[in-house]
Amino acid sequence: MIKNNNRKVISRMAGRSLNNNRRRSMIMIMAVALATFMLFSVFTVGITYFKMQKTQNIRLNGGEYDAILYGLTEEQKSLCEKNPDIKETGAVVVCGYAEETEKDQTPNVGFVWADDAYWRQIKRPAIKWVKGKYPTKENEVMASMDALKECGLENLAVGDSFLMKYADKNGSYTKEFRISGMWEGYGDTDTFYMSKAYFEQSGYELYDVMSTRYYIDFEKKYMPKKEQDAFLASMKLEKQQNLFFLSDYSNALEILTGMIGLVLITCFCAYLLIYNILYLAVSGNVRYYGLLQTVGMTGRQIHRFMYRQMLWIASIGMTAGLAVGSLVAFFLIPTVVKTLGIREAVIEVRFHPLVFLITILLTGVTIYMGSRKPAKLAVSISPVEALGYRVQTGKKSIRKTGNGNLILRMAKEQLAKDKKKTVVVVLSLTVSLCVFLCLVTLLKSEGPRTIVGNYMNLDLVVENDTLKKENHNDWTQIIDETMLEQMKKTEGVKGVHPIKSAEIMFPWEPEVIDKWMEESYDMWMYYPYEEDRKEHQEHPENFGSFMIGIDETDFDYLNQLLEQPIDKERFLAGETCLIYRNSLEFKNSNLTGQEIACAEYGNGDHTRTFTIAGLTDENYYTGALLGMPPTMIVSDRAIEAFTNHTYVSKVGIKYEEEYQKETENALMKLMNDSSYYKDFSFDSKIEEAEDVEKANE
């Protein structure tokens, strides 16, 4: 066959072929445009989202850091300062807390001292504004509006003074403090930032395992688990220390992988669509491609003919996709990013030349791969085959007429005629559905209401703050049976679950208590238990703890979280108990099955023995104050039978519908009408969702 090398004719034929098959051409152009648009949007949304998520995480975490070390040694500080992979470090030391003010007897406000690096570098991105200056004198504080409100001092401003009873490591004192500065921002706002002069006389130290928090900001955008483990090993943590990497820093690689996966799925969808259309077009025009060879077209020219068509389609489709993507980016992408949980007032859409180049490259490769096999099919058709070609779908088979539903039988036969086409079509639909489901799941999972969550998914937790006072005479039953009944009768309330607590003590014995106290002192104290063992043996009342009583609903939920579920009937009957592990290194096997005896606080003759059924790490079931002895969790029936001196330490409330504002307002009014309204503290799911929204504004 004589080669006829006429490229202009081939280009003209390709254009006419596209024009004559307008419907098919428009579908392929739309497929290319849609693929280009989707890829461009994914990249642009990704860049914008990662930028805005960084801002959101800074606000939710209260600073710009990647890891936090609880406790610090001089060697660890020196190691971090010399590490070239660490961008910035800063220390915050807990150095006291407010006991009471003239306006509030139970303020939940702590004192912290922050070094210059933390306040000016790590904390700064999470601060909206600062008035005044950071404290330098012993009696000066840097306060937030939330901290002042918690103390009942919300009307004060910079320069004002107030009288406050507070406690530090040396004891309890009353002093007049002056507000040297105020700040508003994100993170832990229920704290007073204290001066270095105050910190140095508070009894706390920088290299204090129990009170120092060391914040670390790495140079790298993300750190694989292997590198995290290596860094953790290099720090040589002591038993009392812990180092945590932020979840968004740890999961950055997974998020990036998910974004790449979305890009690949988008390319795959476009590939299947283009391949499917071209394959069906070529297989339906076998005679046409065979006859082209009879008029002098070579296989290479047919290749060029097919690729020239795809070049036209790619040029038009990619141009349209990029144009639409660029225009829509200013309107659609801010909406998508906000739907993903970002609520900046102004969403800056991030463009980059590489986005255009990568989009064009990926789309071009997708088009080439999708048209490669149909082009080979067109070239492989000989003129002889084309003249005698008859449409053949599947293998010939002899079959009998069947019975049953005719329509279903015909549908089944059509699917089985050409299995390859069927597989391609079904696979295209499956992948498209997967993309849709992934996007819907991603959108829902990033919403503020999905981020917010607490124990048992409770809507409101109310706590009795009087139990946090060290003086037992100040403890008050502010959540009594009358209030519990009113809570239950409040419209919209589905369930009310009180947590009861009673102070107890543990008579010394060598099997359980002695081993527990040794481990507890080793973890939480600066000196060994040997120095206090004799005092414990003679005066167990100096080592108080709490017995916690829970109802059946709380038990059912807690039992699901245990390493090994325990017998429900024995627990509710008061035969067994659970022990809060309190970060100690005990295993279930170390204590399960052993008996533990407790006594009513101050009354060593009134004792009760339980069998330890297991250990739990759920700190929801702890007393107002954690001591060195174990915290014992029993059924509410058991605690009521043991002592009459019980307090409702907290109440978990479930609404009939989540985020029911009217129900919460009614409950808040109920407590505001109480004479002890300032002694309540709340953990509200609605307020947590609002805080997330606030961090996104």
pLDDT per position as a tens digit, 77-101: 999 999 999 999 999 999 999 999 9
* Structure token pair of residue 133: 């200056």
Closest CA to 10 of 302, 371, 368: 302
Q: Strand, helix or coil at 137?
A: coil
DSSP 429-489: HHHHHHHHHHHHHHHHHTSHHHH---GGG-SEEEEEGGGGSSSGGG----S-HHHHHHHHH
48, 337 Cβ separation under 8 angstroms = yes
59 or 381: which leads in pLDDT: 59
Confidence category of residue 610, pLDDT binned at 50, 70, 90: very high
For 615-663, how does the pLDDT look when each residue is reduced to its tens digit (9 = 90+)?
A: 999 989 987 777 899 999 999 999 999 999 999 999 999 999 888 999 9
What residue has token string 């080439």? Answer: 368
Q: Give Cα 404 to chain centroid, integer Å.
A: 54
Pairing of strands 631-635, 544-550: parallel
The tokens 């606000």 sit on which residue?
59
Q: Report whether pLDDT(501) > 80.
A: yes
pLDDT at 117: 95
Residue 449: what pLDDT?
47
pTM of the model: 0.69
How far is residue 614's CA from residue 562's CA, in Å, rounded to a whole number? 8
CA atoms within 13 A on the CB side of 427: 15
- The whole-number pLDDT of residue 5 equals 56
Choose among 48, 40, 34: nearest CA to 432.
34
481 burial (CB, 10 Å; 0-12 / 13-18 / 19+) is: exposed
What are the domain boundaries of the chain?
A: 7-54+253-392+409-445, 67-245, 457-695
What Cα–Cα distance (Å) separates residue 258 from each residue in 238, 255, 265? 36, 5, 10
Confidence of residue 450 (pLDDT cuts 50, 70, 90): very low
- Closest C-alpha to 597, from 608, 586, 606, 589: 608
